[in-house]
Structure 1
């Protein structure tokens, strides 16, 4: 039996394709799920917004590769791609050398200061030191600018310090009190009754009205401090690493100091970046993300086909205990 002759009021048998009202568009196995999400979890918000749908992995991979190619063909995209490949290549090489993955380089012994293994470890470490200088020193002016605004808010008790930070990091930082603002308040609609403490500096950096009709809660202050200080300390650790690597020769330099500083510099920056990522995800879960034309077409098509999508970030089935809590 084909979908064209199937009674719409009768359930479909397993593996039977569905068709839209406008044509016999077959549904992929990815869409023929056995889940039957409740209407509460798949229905749009009151304002009609629906989160982007999840795509089959082949389609998603193809789209992401196309997006990466567009990024790679830009000057900055090409630069950061080559930079990342160098970090991975030289970092992987020094890891293998430290694990004695090349026994042929261990003569007279693996730990002899003049063995090929120790020489290559030194050259590799010098290259990685230069590579780590790119973000640590290249972003230093902006990192210390953020620290200045943080200290201005914390020590001098001036609210404009935090407001400046909210304007700089408006993708993940939300000011106290913004969760109670009307949902139509945005950069082009800041009324006179909006408290200044809820408005970033400059005003054009005010977050857009939430697509879901719900504003994200304010960012906890300890997270703001952690992110800013982690980036500053990454620059400090890199300064110390450069001083040891370039101020001492490999015969006198303590090996533990190099490893310690490299590990600290990397871990601090990764921790700060991870907190920013989590806060950005939380804001997106509450306020929504923009829909592309491709997303809108997919949602409309799947609605006709009767293919449900969970109305949350990632189109994932919520855990039972977290159904009513968008933050979890």
Structure 2
């Protein structure tokens, strides 16, 4: 959170008194972006083996019951497939961002590529997370309704 705040303050000019030189501000923006990218990359790459396992189990009839046991919030295979592919796409785009950030100099790096890959990574992760959240809430409400109906009887 501190790195994000620093990037915001430098970007909007709130840190101009402490960093009057534009070159210094650009250097700190680059350092901040590298740190944030590294943290996101570590988290997403750390989850990638489980995402690949889930996708493999989705397409394997033999292992699908284990997958559905882990993802109890839905039995709808189309929604589960959407979530799993969104997570895989999130990993792919985050790796693309890292490749752009770490393989090119900050002066030669095409910011449009970093922005597109970063945005697509963000959107795919948000779609997957939001779908899981909504489906989990629906599942919890169903369980609560069933408990209430059995307690009334």
TM range (shorter): 0.7 to 0.9
Shift of the alpha carbon at 1:254?
Answer: 1.3
Q: TM-score, normalised by structure 1?
A: 0.41
Distance 2:20 2:127 in 1: 36
Pairing partner for 1:255 from 94, 100, 111: 111
The CA deviation at 1:106 is 5.1
Task: Give the match's secondary structure for 1:261.
Answer: helix
Out of 166, 171, 190, the position equivalent to 2:68 is 166
Larger radius of gyration: 1
Unmatched runs of 5 consecutive residues or more in structure 2:
149-153
Report the alpha carbon displacement of residue 243 of structure 1 after superposing the two structures with TM: 0.8
Does residue 224 (structure 1) correspond to residue 80 (structure 2)? The answer is: yes
Aligned residue among 272, 279, 283 for 2:135: 279
> Contact 2:83–2:128 (CA<8 Å) still a contact in 1?
yes
Q: 1:137 to 1:173 in 2, by over 3 A?
A: same
Shift of 1:263: 2.3
Pairing partner for 1:117 from 25, 35, 43? 25
Cα deviation per residue 1:230-261 (whole Å; 9 max; x = unaligned)? 11111111111111111111121112222222
Name the structure 2 match of 1:239.
95
Contact 2:10/2:16 (8 A) holds in 1: no
Give the alignment's TM-score, normalised by structure 2: 0.83
* Pair 1:233–1:257, CA change in 2 (3 A): same
Structure 1: gaps spanning 5 or more residues: 1-87, 153-157, 175-218, 290-310, 312-328
2:38 corresponds to which residue?
130
Q: Following superposition, which runs of at least 4 residues in structure 1 exceed 4 angstroms of deviation? A: none
